[in-house]
């Protein structure tokens, strides 16, 4: 399935399999802990290049993302809005605090680690698959994973912060729906994601039907739209 997604869309890197290891579950074999703390967005970008990582609380460099993922407590300065206000992303701490209050997050302490790898190498069943690509490539994923068979429209939920952790991992996990992100300050500052790239998170349960739809569109509308 990973090869088909890459080939049909022309992706520059593999989709990333993300599995949340719940508290009390055994850490998986075949995955390496990063040598130093990393942000969730950094681990996603490393996994799309081939690495297989398991990131525990001790190796989480970003408490904003890790708290949303249920691994560490929410820092008070983040909750109060001071952190994102001081970055210049919100005019007031109150505005930033409203974003944090409204974000989708997992219960504190419910997750002990995150396992990430290229989809083709995953040793665990993914909860979510994250694709990094251009808007044109992500465009085809949306109907393939949502409206191709049933029609209708698609609603997405995004913010100016937490692109890979909340928008691309947690929201698809909690809602069961595909969600996109245009990227955020953190991932654009801390990773090598390109200015023209964005993210899409897909619940694993939707991947098989999505691939079938991509194959059908790959035999018609996708190449036709790209022909100049």
Between CA 41 and CA 169 the distance in angstroms is: 10
Give residue-wise pLDDT tens across range 31-49: 999 999 999 999 999 999 9
Residue ranges of the chain with pLDDT lower than 70? none
Domain boundaries, the chain: 2-226
**Residue 184: both structure tokens together:** 């955020």
Residue 105: per-residue pLDDT? 97
Residue 81: per-residue pLDDT? 96
* φ and ψ at residue 147, rounded to 5 degrees: -100, -5
- Characterize the bridge pairing of strands 53-56 and 111-118: antiparallel
Q: What is the largest CA-CA distance in the chain?
A: 54
Residue 228: per-residue pLDDT? 77
19 forms bridges with which residues in the sheet? Answer: 115
Residue 41: per-residue pLDDT? 97
Burial 113-143 (b: 16+ CB within 10 A, else e): bbbbbbbeebebebbbbbbbbeeebbbbbbb
Residue 157: per-residue pLDDT? 97
Residue 17: per-residue pLDDT? 98
Helices 2-9 and 207-218, packing angle to 10 deg:
40
Alpha helix stretches (DSSP H) within 129-226: 135-142, 171-175, 185-190, 207-218, 221-226
Contact 132, 68 (CB under 8 A): no
Give residue-wise pLDDT tens across range 195-217: 999 999 999 999 999 999 999 99
* φ and ψ at residue 19, rounded to 5 degrees: -125, 125
């Amino acid at each position: 399935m990973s090869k088909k997604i890459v080939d049909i869309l022309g992706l520059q890197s593999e989709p990333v399999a993300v599995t949340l290891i719940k508290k009390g579950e055994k850490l998986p074999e075949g995955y390496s802990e990063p040598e130093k703390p990393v942000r969730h967005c950094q681990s996603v970008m490393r996994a799309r290049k081939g690495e297989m990582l398991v990131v525990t609380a001790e190796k989480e460099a970003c408490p904003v993302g890790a708290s949303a993922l249920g691994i560490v407590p929410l820092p008070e300065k983040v909750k109060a809005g001071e952190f994102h206000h001081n970055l210049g992303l919100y005019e007031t701490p109150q505005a930033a605090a409203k974003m944090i209050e409204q974000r989708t997050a997992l219960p504190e302490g419910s997750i002990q680690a995150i396992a990430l790898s290229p989809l083709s190498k995953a040793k665990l069943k993914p909860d979510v698959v994250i694709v990094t690509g251009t808007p044109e490539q992500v465009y085809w994923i949306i109907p393939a994973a949502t409206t191709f068979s049933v029609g209708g429209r698609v609603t997405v939920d995004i913010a100016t912060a937490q692109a890979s952790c909340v928008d691309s991992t947690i929201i698809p996990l909690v809602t069961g729906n595909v969600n996109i992100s245009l990227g955020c300050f953190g991932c654009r500052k801390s990773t090598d994601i390109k200015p023209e790239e964005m993210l899409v998170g897909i619940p694993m349960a939707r991947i098989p039907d999505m691939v079938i739809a991509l194959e059908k569109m790959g035999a018609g509308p996708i190449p036709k739209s790209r022909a100049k």
